[in-house]
Amino acid sequence: MSHNTKMPEGLLPLFPLEVVLFPNTTLPLHIFEERYKEMINECIAQERAFGVVLSRGNGVLRTGSTATVEQVLQRFDDGRLDILTLGRRRFEILSIDTERSFFQAEVRYFEDDDSEPASAQTILKSIGRFEELVKLTEEDTETPDADHPELSFQLAQVSTDLSFRQTLLQMRSEADRMEQVCEHLGVLLERHKLGKEIKKVARLNGHGKHTPDLSGLE
């Protein structure tokens, strides 16, 4: 696939969010602003994708992922919508059009520059850390298939770190992404274990016998 393919149907509608969407991952959305109700309804009617980009201050970051509406979960009387979307293709914004009530952009899609998979060792270690983290956080999340062509994005779903997710989205090598994900999951595990340890200590200090007697101090 060419790196310079432009959107055949013209401009891509943009949805700036405090979210980084990965390809082949789901994202439920509640649509309540008038301009985005208009945009999403058009996308549904025309079976078109829209672009999810990370909003920063008054602007948006240049790299995002397209999303398609897979299911309308609920329509409310006032026009609000609950939808389930799926991440599709990564893109870079070339220019932004402000003619409509919502932003639209001329974009360039991109794929990975190399198709080398990560080492089996990195994959196994990453999946192990992912499973341990899911167990610790008691989330009901299935372990992705180790053969998934973009396993890095699937595993990184457990992270809420937007800067990390955005960096990952921009990377063009699955092997490099997997290295980053493996390291990041290790950091998340340490933080979680440390958090639990701190809570445990705090609980112990809540008992009288562990609390020093300060009554004699002036």
Please tell me the distance from the alpha carbon of residue 137 to that of residue 144, in angstroms, as a whole number: 17
**Four-residue CA torsion sign, 27, 32, 37, 41:** positive
pLDDT for 137 equals 85
15-71 tens-digit pLDDT: 999 999 999 999 999 999 999 999 999 999 999 999 999 999 888 999 999 999 999
154-171 tens-digit pLDDT: 999 999 999 999 999 999
What phi, psi does 205 have (nearest 5°)?
-70, -15
Q: How big, in percent rounded to 5, are the helix, strand and coil portions of the chain?
A: 35, 30, 35
Please tell me the distance from the alpha carbon of residue 96 to that of residue 94, in angstroms, as a whole number: 7
The reported pTM is 0.85
What domains are defined for the chain?
A: 12-109 (2.30.130.40), 120-205 (no CATH)
CA 171 to chain centre: 14
Share of the chain above pLDDT 90, in %: 77
| H or E stretch covering 82 | strand 81-97
- Are 23 and 150 in contact by the 8 Å Cβ rule? The answer is yes
